[in-house]
Structure 1
């Protein structure tokens, strides 16, 4: 995806493919509200994501949280903008089993080009699995790595 928040919106609307990492996580767009800076996504944790005891590896949960927090901000940006995550802190509250997980993200506060974000994952029984707090910077697409 090389065109910032505009490309993000196209992927969420099904007019463009998801980025490879999001596709690997089985990401599905549920809804977003740009005015409130919130987003809901679903992920499919497969057996390939599990550790030796059958729980979803924390690294995959962190990736899902990352792919929830960032898009909450992306949903609020202009098409020529993108976001760069500066920090992500994840907390794992209970084991997750393979299956559908719901990610809820929100922009907690934004001042200038810095935004504070939160994300949470719940399982099919609506139990809270993991949470994250992130800090991101809004950047122009010409500042993004790989931009021409």
Structure 2
């Protein structure tokens, strides 16, 4: 991975910690391909993410989808750029128990500073558990509010 926003690359290469939200989700970057605009991540869903039935709460799955779609775009950006999510639509396909989950994200299409993204989450048995589509805007890093 030779491109991407400075903050993203620094976290991927261990020069900086993951953002607090990504760390809370137990995010681990497995692979990123700037040329293809794809990324593969792992997350650790803990017991503290569960609802009264013992399933991971949809809001945590949505956060994982968000942290999958955005970095797919980040991996393609110049060091002085960041992304700001404009919209995220999530679909929850099956309940999931705590454990290791996997996210795959990709840039579907980009026109100027607007990008259309997709993300999917699977469980350890490779069953699809949730999907999302997102729209994001590419912004100069100096305009990113705390690069969050």
> What's the counterpart of residue 46 of structure 2?
46
> What's the counterpart of residue 134 of structure 2?
134
Superposition map of 1:56-135 within 5 A: 56-135=56-135
Kindly report structure 1 stretches of 4+ aligned residues shifted beyond 4 Å: none
CA distance in 1, matches of 2:36, 2:42: 19
CA distance in 2, matches of 1:146, 1:107: 23
Q: How many residues align?
A: 144
Q: CA deviation at 1:16?
A: 1.2
Q: Tell me the TM-score normalised to structure 2 length.
A: 0.95
In the alignment, structure 1 residue 5 sits paired with structure 2 residue 5? yes
Q: CA deviation at 1:110?
A: 0.2
In structure 2, the residue corresponding to 1:8 is in which secondary structure?
Answer: helix
> What's the counterpart of residue 25 of structure 1?
25
In structure 1, the residue corresponding to 2:72 is in which secondary structure?
Answer: helix
Greater mean alpha carbon deviation, residues 48-57 or residues 13-22: 13-22
Structure 1 gap ranges (5+):
none
Structure 2 gap ranges (5+):
none
The two structures, once aligned, show a CA RMSD in angstroms of 1.1
Q: CA deviation at 1:9?
A: 0.9
